[in-house]
Structure 1
Amino acid sequence: MKNPTLNCFAAVIVMSAFTMCTKSEFKTPKKTSSVVQTNDTNLSSQTLAVNSITVQPSQWYVDGTNLPAGTVIYIPAGTRSSLLLKNITGTAASPIIIINKGGKVTFSTSVTASYGFKTQNCRYFKILGNGDPSVEYGFNVNGGNIGMTMDDLSSDFEISNVEVRNSGFAGIMAKTDPTCDVATQRGHFTMQNVILHNNYVHKTGGEGFYVGNSFYADGRSLSCGTVLPHDVINVKIYNNRIDSAGCEGIQVGAAILGCEVYNNTVTSPGLSPFASGQNNGIQIGEGTGGKCYNNLVKNAPGNGIIVLGLGDNQVYNNFILNSGANGIFADSRYTPGPNFQFVNNTIISSAADGIKMNSTTIPMNTVINNIIVQSGSGTAIRKINSGVKLTASNNYIGNDTNALNFANYAADDFHLLSTSPLINAGANTSVYGVTLDYYGKARPSGTAYDIGATEY
């Protein structure tokens, strides 16, 4: 780093423009040495001696240009206004840690404010709301047009144990939209290592999670011509709860490599979409490949899961319940890859089709070991026309959820009873990498694979 100490670091401290009209005094944080212990999976076994600073309630931004790698930024418990972190750069081995101290921190601002929590030109950092073991979500972001936004060329970050609510648009956003500044465009900037886990996002005006640009193929038409959005590499979105989002619960675009969306619970998304087709549970968008698995999606007014991805997409072990359109909808837009794979999903009570495929340019669509029950249209698996290439086998299609013999379907206990007709009735899907079930149990547990997302 440019400066190994904090002696040259100066943070301009002003009273929040969102709530106050006076300014506090100019201050330079003192260098301190401290020890931090967190519950993060990457840090739980370590005790790190680090430099640290504390962000006071009157500060609305921190410029970390001269902060050394490994610094811990403490935010003390209490209610405060929005916070902007800019020019904070750690390293892969020693990221900057932003963590709550002494209890819950609430960032409260008007829904018309630009953001509740924002990073600008930051890299290698972690925002962790696990500073107090008695508080599950140590950071609580209430309001802002975007609750949390990681943009302006931010990359290589982790966000966990954060609650985001009552945002005007997206809950948690991670992307830098392309402009006429070439630094923002594909080939010049790549957002990578985006890890979002164990967060609770609810009551958002738009998407719960919005990662990557939605228009990978065509980009944006600006005064300087057509500009293409940056790639996203290595996205992991897992163990999050999303409830009552205005648009999709989770939307990922432009994630060309290493994308995994798993172990999330999405309930009641798409309550007030800005346009038609934005009321789905999970959207695997343009330019996105990878895996979508072990998610629970309930009560989406549109499709439970919509796949517009690259064509190296695997969708498996998901429970998709009570969708207002199709359980799964697949479309081929920018889709150079070889296969859409829909394996061992459980789709119940979709108002339209169970799985609908408009994916005509995909060399093969694979539909194996899925439960499709109570499709409103009466069609479990629909091809838009004969141009859709399909391999389908060992799917259970019916009209009676009770016949599946779940332990307690009404309470979301999807373990199978010994009398279930799904047991040992599936094809071997290990070739597709499906070797565990929704609960993490090894497949097969008996003489053959079971159908659906859970193994007896």
Structure 2
Amino acid sequence: MSIKNAAYISGTLFFGSINAWANGDSGSDYNCDYEIPSGQYLLDGDQMQIPPGSTVCLAPGERGPLRIKNITGTSDQPVVIRNRDNQVLFTPYEYSMALDNVSWVRVTSTPDPVSGGYGIRLGGTIGVGMLSHHVELDNLEIYRARFAGMLVKTDPNCNPDTWAENFIMEGVYIHDNYIHDTEEGEGMYIGYTAKSRNLVCEGEEITVYPHQLRDVKIYNNTLENIAADGIQIGAIQSDAQVTGNRIYRTGVSPFAPVWQNTGIQAGGDDIEISDNQIIESGGNGMMLDGDNIRVINNLVHSAGENSIFARNAAQQNSALSGGLPHLYQNNTLIKSANYGIKLYATNTSSAHILTGNLIETDGIMDVTGKYRTLSYLNDSVIREESNNRHYISAPSE
């Protein structure tokens, strides 16, 4: 392994060449341009003068939290932060990594050659904020977090750069991670969920609006034993995909009163949710809020409320209309406590499509005398149904 530059430590940047070998294998070259020792808690790209295309390696062993700021890569030359060779274990703390004002940065790991486990294991939240964008988080284990496992957003504040009209968070790619045993919050908390925020700035009360997100890809993650929602994304402007994730047992310790206990909660427009498995969510398997939402080929089993509950902005504001419809296609929805799909998205430009869905219920009728398969707010929910199938669960012995 060749390390071209040592780390920035205690205000001094040490240059040089360090040669070392991982596990005695002189044939392994990890191409580390910088190494961050376990006792260093700040990685400042400005101070270290980290150029695009660099690989920054974390020394193996136990360590405390790490703040990473002011790092800028490019689309062709992102900056990669990863384990050097053996496992890096972040001990339990409020946060493990905080990425502030970074762009075109990837945090990843390769498996520990000794245990075969993840090369980076985090005992606290990994946060991405302070106007960061184009960030990739992959192949990480978050084995404990007091609040959310991942927290990806910039809260609007008195700095106008953080306001919706001045900033959009783009290029958020999160994949192949294992997140489990959060104590109070979500597995992933992505995007600011409130519509606005009231602040006092320079003695004046103002209302500011949070940034939106676009180009968001969340795929192939495993989430287990999550206190609140499994995956929560909000303020999506366009082009979000949540696909191929495995989510087991969410809402195990939700906020009081009981809410934010879904498998996937998604808010915004132009969102695709496909090929996910959601098992034993405390509340709805999915809770969706927006227009042009496409839900395809998912499995939802044993949801504590509805397998899928969905609405849009028009349902909450009668002055709105004309949003693009939803698509629900080829989903398998098994044994939810309430309905298979409860759809409250109103006054769309054309009909919602519900086709090829398989719904299994316990056979109990609702107050209208119908099986609890598909339910609509009223006739303002325009819809077309085709080829949906209903089965009644076999009685347990």
Q: TM-score w.r.t. structure 1 length?
A: 0.75
1:101, distance to aligned residue in structure 2 (A): 1.5
Measured in 2, the distance between the counterparts of 1:87 and 1:280 equals 35
Letter matched to residue 78 of structure 2: P
What pairs with 1:214-225 in structure 2 (closer than 5 Å)? 214-215=193-194, 218-223=195-200, 224-225=205-206
Of residues 306, 310, 313, the one that matches 2:287 is 306
The correspondence of residues 189-208 of structure 1 with structure 2, limited to 5 A, is 189-204=167-182, 205-208=184-187
Aligned partners of 2:148 and 2:372: how far apart in 1? 34
Q: 1:98: Cα distance to partner?
A: 0.4
Deviations along 1:195-226, whole A, 9 cap, x unmatched?
A: 100000011121101111112xx311222422
Residues 239-258 of structure 1: matches in 2 within 5 Å?
239-258=220-239
| Inter-CA distance 34–362: structure 2 relative to 1 (3 Å threshold) | farther
- Indicate how the Cα distance of structure 1 residues 154 and 31 shifts in structure 2: closer, same or farther if over 3 A, else same: farther
- Structure 2 counterpart of 1:28, which letter? L
Q: Who is 1:91 aligned against?
A: 74
Letter in 2 for 1:351: A
> Equivalent residue for 1:30?
15
Deviations along 1:10-37, whole A, 9 cap, x unmatched? 8343xxxxxxxxxxxx5423254999xx
Cross-structure match for 1:278 = 260
**Correspondence for 1:11:** 8
Shift of 1:365: 2.0
Picking from 206, 211, 219, the partner of 2:190 is 211
Residue 396 of structure 1 corresponds to which residue in structure 2?
389
Is residue 323 of structure 1 aligned with residue 303 of structure 2? yes
Counting only pairs closer than 5 Å after superposition, residues 3-402 of structure 1 correspond to structure 2 as: 11-13=8-10, 26-32=11-17, 52-65=33-46, 66-110=49-93, 113=94, 115-130=95-110, 132=112, 135-143=116-124, 147-204=125-182, 205-215=184-194, 218-223=195-200, 224-275=205-256, 276-285=258-267, 287-309=268-290, 311-333=291-313, 337-363=323-349, 364-374=351-361, 377=366, 378-400=371-393
Would you say the 8 A contact 1:257–1:288 is kept in 2? yes
Report the Cα distance in structure 1 between the residues aligned to 2:218 and 2:151, rounded to whole angstroms: 12
Q: Deviations over 1:336-371 (max 9, x none)?
A: 631111111000001001100121233432211000
- SS of 2:84 mapped into structure 1: strand
User: Greater strand percent: which structure?
Assistant: 2
Please list the CA deviations of residues 78-110 of structure 1 after superposition, one character each: whole Å capped at 9, or x if unmatched.
110001111011111111110101211111133
> What is the rounded CA distance, in whole Å, between the counterparts of 2:19 and 2:76 in structure 1?
18
How many Å apart are 1:187 and its aligned residue?
2.3
Segments of 4+ in structure 1 off by > 4 A? Answer: 31-35, 47-51, 131-134
In structure 2, the gaps of 5 or more residues are 21-27, 315-320
CA contact 2:221–2:245 (8 Å) conserved in 1: yes
For structure 1, which segment, 377-386 or 78-87, has the greater mean C-alpha deviation from structure 2 after superposition?
A: 377-386
The alignment partner of 1:253 has SS state of: strand
**Alignment partners' CA distance in 1, 2:138 and 2:55:** 16
Displacement of 1:288 after TM fit? 3.9
Equivalent residue letter for 1:142: G
Counterpart code for 2:381: V
1:51 shift after superposition: 6.6
Tell me, in whole angstroms, the C-alpha distance in 1 between the residues paired with 2:18 and 2:284. Answer: 52
Tell me if the contact between 2:67 and 2:98 (Cα under 8 Å) persists in the aligned partners: yes
* Secondary structure of the structure 1 residue equivalent to 2:13: coil
Equivalent position amino acid for 1:339 in 2: P
- Indicate the SS of the match to 1:206: coil
Deviates more, 1:231-240 or 1:384-393: 384-393
Residues 148 and 171 in structure 1, CA contact (< 8 A), matched pair in contact too: yes
Identity in percent: 32
Whether contact under 8 Å (1:239, 1:262) holds in the other structure is yes
Matches of 1:32 and 1:70, distance apart in 2: 18
Farther-moved stretch of structure 1 (160-169 vs 124-133): 124-133
CA RMSD of aligned residues (A): 2.4
Write the deviation string for residues 300-357 of structure 1: whole angstroms up to 9, x where unpaired: 1110011102x11100100000001001101112686311111110000010011001
One-letter code of the match for 1:264?
Answer: N
Cα distance change, pair 10–373 in 1 and its aligned pair in 2 (3 A): closer
Inter-CA distance 347–130: structure 2 relative to 1 (3 Å threshold) = same
SS at match of 1:183: helix
**Cα contact 1:31–1:53 (8 A) shared by 2:** no
Q: Deviations over 1:387-442 (max 9, x none)?
A: 2111111000120379xxxxxxxxxxxxxxxxxxxxxxxxxxxxxxxxxxxxxxxx
User: Where do 1:435-454 residues align within 5 Å?
Assistant: none
Q: Distance in 2 between matches of 1:48 and 1:193?
A: 29
Paired residues of 1:369 and 1:394 also in contact (CA < 8 A): yes
* Residue ranges of structure 1 left out of the alignment (5+ in a row): 1-5, 14-25, 36-46, 403-456
